[in-house]
């Protein structure tokens, strides 16, 4: 019962990610990009068969294994975490990281690629999706919290 909020959050994040990808396929695939902010941000359809920045193209088995290992490891440590208010930020980071990893894993299993559609044209940043945002923000948040909030003794459960 005490984990319902975290797992409900994960489910909502995964559903939002999958909904955004369904939208991208229906509204962007085979069509011109949609400008959101002229010359800065646009939506354009991309099938990514690799990892971030297009690395490791067509290595789907590798991605399945890595994702399952990472999600299993995260979940193991999640259940070892003390159940106190101080661990709430770490649990929030876990939820985002888990949802992002699973969101992209669903794509890889269903399509053999990940649907990407958000493009920062202004800086020519690689096209990405909601799950990528979850992973990136969660890792940054967790790193920040470990560096500036948590103390070594907070991780005695490890």
What number of CA atoms fall less than 13 Å from residue 70's CA on the CB side? 17
* CA of residue 27 relative to chain centroid, distance: 22
DSSP percent split of the chain into helix, strand, coil, nearest 5: 65, 15, 25
Contact 122, 39 (CB under 8 A): yes
Contact 43, 24 (CB under 8 A): yes
Contact 104, 133 (CB under 8 A): no
Residues with catalytic function: 116, 132
Spatial separation of the C-alpha atoms in residues 135 and 107, rounded to whole Å: 15
């Amino acid at each position: 019962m005490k984990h319902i909020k975290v797992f409900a959050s994960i489910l909502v994040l995964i559903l939002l990610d999958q909904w955004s990808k369904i939208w991208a396929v229906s509204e962007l695939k085979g069509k011109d990009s949609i400008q959101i902010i002229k010359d800065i941000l646009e939506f354009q359809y991309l099938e990514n068969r690799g990892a971030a920045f297009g690395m490791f193209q067509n290595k789907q088995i590798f991605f399945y294994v890595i994702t399952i290992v990472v999600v299993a490891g995260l979940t193991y440590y999640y259940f070892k975490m003390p159940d106190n208010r101080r661990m709430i930020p770490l649990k929030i980071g876990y939820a985002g990281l888990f949802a992002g990893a699973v969101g992209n894993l669903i794509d890889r299993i269903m399509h053999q690629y990940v649907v990407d559609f958000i493009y920062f044209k202004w800086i020519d940043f690689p096209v990405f999706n909601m799950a990528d945002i979850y992973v990136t923000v969660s890792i940054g948040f967790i790193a920040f919290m470990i560096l500036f909030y948590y103390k070594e003794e907070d991780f005695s459960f490890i």
